[in-house]
Structure 1
Amino acid sequence: MNSTEQIWRKAILPAHATIQQVISNLDHVAIKIVLVVNEAGELEGTISDGDIRRGLLKGLDLNSPITNVIHRNALVVPPEMTREMVMQLMVANKIQQIPAVDEHHHVVGLHLWDEIATPPVRPNLMVIMAGGMGTRLRPHTENCPKPLLPVAGKPMLEHIIEHAKLEGFSHFVLAVHYLGHMIEEHFGNGERLGVQIDYLREQSPLGTAGALGLLNPRPDAAFVVTNGDVITDIHYGELLDFHLRHNAAATMAVRVHEWQHPFGVVQTQGVEIVGFEEKPVARSHINAGVYALDPDALNTLAADARCDMPTLFERLQEQSKRTVAYPMHEPWLDVGRPDDLSRANGQISNKTTGQH
């Protein structure tokens, strides 16, 4: 939406404009829509070239006011709606433009199908933690680092990079340690995948955040971090947008995890039984292993010192920095154990063959 900011501002016309002015605007701005606002700056409606054509067929001329051609109950969305939802609305309603309006009905942006269908190029860095020993996956990992284990014929890391590339990311840093030379040999500088890949080489295991202290140069904008063994359809770009919108120092993607108690639970007070719950379901948020961080968050890390992500978040909270959770619903699999590996293979193979 941001890339079209200047364009949609040019497509705003007052409610007293003429059909001639709308035609000129449609030709000049070339986004196939005009946004009509009243004197208070509120969106009155939209006009497309189809609305103009219908108006002319009804006998309106170029000097006629646009009152009769405004599409007044135009579909609008709030600014925080995700790209995926906007795309679904466009497809369902067979439209190519949807204005975003705030709570006062003032236009704050415009979603265009062409822009949404091709995600914006993101200069932001993406760091992938690929240094783990993969102990739980032995013997698979005795001669192969975990992120290189094949899932549906391709290393896990390659799935992550290709998914992020579709989201507009092109610069990756891989933090490597255990059998790291094999990862470097496989991916090189990223040319084969059409991206740029650099490496952070941990001399000893530094945890899920510690390697970030080795970043040099330090990123100059918010960046995404993911564990190298997390296969997910999460939209990394939307996670980043969410992080920026909430002005956070650090954002953690979280999933709702449901666990059913295997037994009927008896509630007691002293020796009195006060109630029963038959196999209750407990819901909690779990860390999905994908994060967005502000460059300043790196100030809490010491070079070459071990640190895990939850610790980094706790340090930021102690400094009264904002840390937020990004609730995700997309398919997600943490490939930690052999049965996770076979499940990932099954899921991705089914997706590529179109089965569910």
Structure 2
Amino acid sequence: MKDFNDHIISDNRSVVDALTQINQLSGNLNLTLFVCDSQGKMLGTLTDGDFRRGFMKGLKLDDSIDSFMVKNFRHFTLNDINVAHIKELRAKQIKLVPLLDEDGRIIKVYDFTQRKTILPVDAVLMAGGRGERLRPLTDTTPKPMLLIGNKPIIEHNIDNLTTNGIDNFFVTVNYLADQIVNHLGNGEKKGIRIECVKETKPLGTIGSVSLIKNFNNDTVLIMNSDLFTNINFEDFYLDFVEKNAAMSIASVPYQISVPYAVLNQDNETVDSFEEKPTYTYHANAGIYLIKKELLDIIPISTHFNATDFIQALLNSGRKVIKYPIIGYWIDIGKHEDYNKAQEFAKHINSQS
């Protein structure tokens, strides 16, 4: 919630004042007041339901508002945002949850009508590629800025991640970088932080991450900016944490059908055969969760691919896992992929 001041009320205000303030929030679905003392410390919450229950118990209009408020209120503190706890709050349909500093003052308010969760990760969107296979569309427009529906591909991904409570973004750019930088700005309009990091030369599929030093969180999400997907980021993160992995690679099924009978043999002897089999493989979807300290493996300003990084982790005995995407995933690399994403977006919008 960008502006929560309308939801704050001083503890010395009257019941009538509080009811009036709640009534003024009537256009807002979240009719909750945060009661604070003169120092800004939060003391409790108030809703119209709290007043109704108070009056039924015999409280009067001239009683203090702290007689009505909930003192054991739900809140977060710095460095103590638990994603599993958020799932519980969501199940209980708790919509507004304040984040308090060490003195109990409100830093921000999370509105769970506007976001699904709060993931304690930083996001890096790789947006430096030339998009050669999408020419001539990419002759004058960088691939991440091609429109899907009414907004660029990269903005779909930023909005999706923001809905999942991520608010610290890095975008690595190179080809036609100014178009991306000028469109995204610093993220202030969306209530997030965006920093664009420019490559001076192509650094591969993950090398530009070496240019970023000011991560806020212990986990970093890295993804290609030209993907169109509804991956469940919350479940992706919880799976990563539960399995205590060094890296999780989102994956998609890729099937290969052989149009002939395949012979199975032991040495030179055929012992069975399969008629026109289909084999399913788990392909890299271009979305990763990585423990921040492991990013030091990436050499600075050197061409380095995600496959190089994965191999380095495996060589050092680190735990690398895969997370299968359940849902849609389109890698917009060719014209047919771009057209498919356009049609998919129309279908999604017609259902919303």
Shift of 1:199: 1.0
Shift of 1:241: 2.4
Shift of 1:273: 4.6
2:183 corresponds to which of 174, 183, 186: 186
TM-score scaled by length of structure 2 = 0.67
Q: Call closer, same or farther: CA 1:303–1:218 in 2, change over 3 Å.
A: farther
Aligned equivalents of 1:329 and 1:301: distance in 2? Answer: 30
Runs (5+) with no aligned partner, structure 1: 1-26, 32-79, 87-96, 99-109
Q: Within 5 A, what are the aligned runs for 1:294-309?
A: 294-309=291-306
Alignment length (residue pairs) = 259
2:205 aligned counterpart, secondary structure: helix
1:254 corresponds to which of 242, 251, 260: 251
2:150 corresponds to which of 133, 150, 153: 153
Could you tell me which residue of structure 2 aligns to residue 282 of structure 1? Answer: 279
Do the aligned residues in 2 keep the contact of 1:173 with 1:199 (CA within 8 Å)?
Answer: yes
Shift of 1:345: 0.2
State yes or no: 1:224 paired with 2:252. no
User: Which amino acid is 2:325 matched to?
Assistant: M
Aligned equivalents of 2:292 and 2:268: distance in 1? Answer: 55
Deviations 1:156-187 (A, max 9, x none): 00110111111111121100011111101111
1:264 corresponds to which of 261, 264, 284: 261
Do the aligned residues in 2 keep the contact of 1:224 with 1:240 (CA within 8 Å)?
Answer: no
Q: Call closer, same or farther: CA 1:127–1:273 in 2, change over 3 Å.
A: same
Aligned equivalents of 2:342 and 2:233: distance in 1? Answer: 22
User: Which amino acid is 2:335 matched to?
Assistant: P
Runs (5+) with no aligned partner, structure 2: 1-69, 75-82, 96-111
Aligned equivalents of 1:316 and 1:323: distance in 2? Answer: 7
Could you tell me which residue of structure 1 aligns to residue 128 of structure 2? Answer: 131
2:94 aligned counterpart, secondary structure: helix
User: Which amino acid is 1:212 matched to?
Assistant: V
1:113 corresponds to which of 80, 93, 111: 93
Could you tell me which residue of structure 2 aligns to residue 322 of structure 1? Answer: 319
Shift of 1:153: 2.4
User: Which amino acid is 1:153 matched to?
Assistant: N
Do the aligned residues in 2 keep the contact of 1:122 with 1:170 (CA within 8 Å)?
Answer: no
Shift of 1:255: 1.5
Q: Call closer, same or farther: CA 1:283–1:177 in 2, change over 3 Å.
A: same
Aligned equivalents of 1:120 and 1:270: distance in 2? Answer: 55
Identical counterparts, % of pairs: 27
Aligned equivalents of 2:242 and 2:267: distance in 1? Answer: 49
1:196 corresponds to which of 174, 193, 207: 193
Do the aligned residues in 2 keep the contact of 1:123 with 1:171 (CA within 8 Å)?
Answer: no
TM-score scaled by length of structure 1 = 0.66
Aligned equivalents of 1:270 and 1:292: distance in 2? Answer: 42
Could you tell me which residue of structure 2 aligns to residue 310 of structure 1? Answer: 307
Could you tell me which residue of structure 1 aligns to residue 338 of structure 2? Answer: 341
Shift of 1:271: 6.5
Aligned equivalents of 1:276 and 1:269: distance in 2? Answer: 12
